[in-house]
């Protein structure tokens, strides 16, 4: 049985005061919902230490938004996986479409980041997804398959058991347009079948999250799909009441 997971990607938002209030409200509001769902928040790197302090002895886990592929070196402005570990980071987002687009990250670089995270004991949340142009050209499946296969080729199956995948259609991120549950399930099914070609165990155990304008309104229908194991949530994760509702709508569907 895969345990559901909801991760909040705060992107480049927040301040010390804002994050303190957000985390206090979140921890208070989640209560027993944590029994059915793992909850992760990914603040901007400068707030990892503050977040670690605020999340101590709570059920909410800490994630980061990026990691460098190398262990150390002359990489100005970058952060190594071992540094994240020192701040209690358990998850890291790799291959987010905003980094593929803005920082020019390639499939190969994303796969190397994924390997670096796994080597340090951090679970990578590997983002894959097609642009609107790619979908309209009928290439959505092949783009996502290429992105997933780059990971499978670089990392071995045993290590990948600690990974999480996130299908995030680029056209749904921050747009208010969500993939329909059927569209999302179809792509999640494809991703799981690619994992199965590598290892039956990997396919059975890997959580595949959906991301792209998840909200309190659409979360339940998305999470009811058989291959959707939770969500990667951007905008709504900055609104504590809505994020709590999203986490609870996953938790309520959890059957131990």
Residues assigned a catalytic role: 96, 168
**Min. distance of Cβ 66 from ligand PEP in angstroms?**
13
**Min. distance of Cβ 168 from ligand PEP in angstroms?**
5
Q: Is 173 in the site for ligand PEP (CB under 6 A)?
A: yes
**Interatomic CA distance for residues 107 and 43, integer angstroms:** 24
Cα 132 from chain centroid? 21
Q: Is 9 in the site for ligand PEP (CB under 6 A)?
A: yes
Q: Which residue is nearest to ligand PEP (CB)?
A: 234
* 129 dihedral zone (left: phi>0; alpha: psi -120 to 50; beta): left
Beta bridge partners, 124, equal 92
Angle at which helices 181-198 and 140-154 cross, to 10°: 30
Q: Is 43 in the site for ligand PEP (CB under 6 A)?
A: no
Q: Is 124 in the site for ligand PEP (CB under 6 A)?
A: no
The answer to whether residues 14 and 43 touch, using CB atoms and an 8 Å cutoff, is yes
Tell which positions 180-219 bind ligand PEP, by CB under 6 A: 211-214
**Min. distance of Cβ 232 from ligand PEP in angstroms?**
5
> Of 103, 106, 174, 197, which lies in the binding site for ligand PEP, with binding defined by CB under 6 A?
174
Q: Segment contacting ligand PEP (CB under 6 A): 35-43, 130-138, 180-188, 234-242?
A: 234-242
Q: How many CB atoms lie within 10 A of CB 197?
A: 12
> Of 118, 122, 191, 232, which lies in the binding site for ligand PEP, with binding defined by CB under 6 A?
232
**Number of residues lying near ligand PEP (CB under 6 A):** 13
CA distances from 151 to 95, 155, 162, 194 (A): 10, 6, 13, 11
Q: Is 27 in the site for ligand PEP (CB under 6 A)?
A: no
Instruction: Give the three-state DSSP class for 94.
Output: strand
Binding residues (CB under 6 A) for ligand PEP: these are 9, 168, 173-174, 211-214, 232-236
């Amino acid at each position: 049985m895969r345990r559901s997971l909801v991760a909040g990607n705060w992107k480049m938002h927040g301040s010390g005061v804002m994050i303190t209030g957000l985390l206090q409200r979140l921890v208070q509001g989640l209560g027993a919902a944590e029994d059915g769902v793992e909850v992760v928040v990914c603040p901007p790197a400068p707030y990892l230490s503050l977040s670690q302090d605020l999340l101590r002895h709570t059920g909410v886990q800490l994630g980061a938004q990026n990691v460098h592929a190398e262990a150390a070196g002359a990489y100005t402005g970058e952060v190594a996986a071992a540094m994240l570990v020192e701040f209690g980071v358990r998850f890291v987002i790799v291959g987010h479409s905003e980094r593929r687009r803005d920082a020019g990250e390639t499939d190969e670089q994303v796969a190397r980041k994924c390997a670096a995270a796994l080597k340090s004991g951090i679970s990578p949340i590997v983002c894959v997804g097609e642009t609107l142009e790619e979908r309209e050209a009928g290439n959505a499946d092949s783009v996502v398959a290429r992105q997933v296969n780059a990971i499978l080729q670089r990392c071995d199956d045993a290590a990948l058991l600690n990974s999480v995948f996130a299908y995030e259609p680029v056209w749904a991120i921050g747009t208010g347009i969500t993939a329909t549950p059927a569209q999302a399930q179809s792509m999640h099914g494809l991703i799981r079948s690619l994992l199965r070609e590598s290892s039956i165990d990997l396919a059975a155990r890997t959580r595949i999250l959906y991301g792209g304008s998840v909200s309190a309104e659409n979360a339940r229908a998305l999470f009811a799909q058989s291959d959707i194991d939770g969500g990667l949530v951007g905008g709504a994760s900055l609104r504590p009441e809505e994020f709590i509702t999203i986490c609870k709508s996953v938790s309520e569907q959890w059957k131990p």
